[in-house]
Structure 1
Amino acid sequence: MTTTSTARAARMTSPRNLINAGVFTALYFIALFATGMLGIFHPAMMFAGWSLGIVVCAIICMLYIARTRAFGAYTVMGLVIGVLMVATGHAWITPLISTPLGLAADAITRSGGYTRTFTNALGFAVFSMWIIGPLLPIIWASDAYFADISRSMGQEYADGYRSLVTVPVIAGWAVVVAIISYGCALLGMKVLHKHFERAGVA
């Protein structure tokens, strides 16, 4: 890691970077929550919505990292996103997944000086895997999980959800998320270089 990146990494708690964290975390949450709402129509649409959300969030996160270039950016985002997910009715374990993955993503992006395409894309891919957090209670408390789905969405929806979202599907989805996220982050880096850097935003 270079001296410049070290200096910048020490300033995650600066007012500028804290504002960046708040703004970009809000954008990330809105994008993912809005696209995830497609799941209302059918359980399978939840995965389609999240996939679409990852595309948007990749661009958001590439700009976020370019503007902060500080260790802790993903950790803060992971913690806040996890807490917001719990506040909106999702599993309590979510912030316990999203925060450590944010820490891992910080370490990866810092290793590339926050500018290397490979490490920025890999960091986003690792961070994005937190999305399986809300589904994890299916592993140890499936009856309670689907009973809650039934109360909010109806028994027919809950039955369809149960038949679709199994433990192997959750494991496979984690792999799919990592692959999609990595690819979308590569796209996000291209958008960053082509548009935001030329405009002086990044």
Structure 2
Amino acid sequence: MNERNPTLRERQREETRRAIQTCAVRLFTDRGYDRVTVAEIAEAAGVSSMTVYRHFPTKEDLVLVEQPVRHIAELVASSPASFPLVRRVGSALVDAATALTRREVDEPAAGERFLLDCLRLMIATPALRARHLDSQYAMQQAIVEALGEDAADQDDAFLARAAISACLAAMHMALTRWAEDDGRTPLPDLITRALTASFGDTAVVRRPGS
């Protein structure tokens, strides 16, 4: 099925959203999260405060990176059902990280640098750490729903959530290390190492081209 191309209005909306978030993260990084107001972000982005709130209902939302939740859930759902769930989830997380941080040269790309800045802010700011945990729960739920009948039984659903939570915890540790290391070690490698330390050498299978 062919995906629908975004309309001009949708592209403009996304450009505005990206510009606001870029300004916000730059100001937060330079001056500290608590010292920057939404009004200052709006002024830097050349929009009104109302426009900022239209795109980002709370100040915390300005730092949250939209995770490829649907993509990860689809990767898990499309992986062989005969594989252990940890292997299915772990491989999907590594593949998604590979796509998200793919670079053409040794230096981090602009998008990767932005992600690193967001992660450092989340690590340093208690309110943002709490929101990050919320996003992890949302990803867990999306993966469980994508499994469908594979986790239809109540006990199966419990075991699935336990396995998924453990994988996401390993990914969280890898993200933290990646931010502290300023992106010098590729994120997919860190996630693979974290998953391997938790579940063994067969926890991850790289798909061709990843």
Would you say same fold, with TM above 0.5? no
TM-score by length of 2: 0.38
Between Structure 1 and Structure 2, whose CA radius of gyration is higher?
2
Relative to total residues, which structure has the larger helix share, 1 or 2?
1
TM-score by length of 1: 0.39
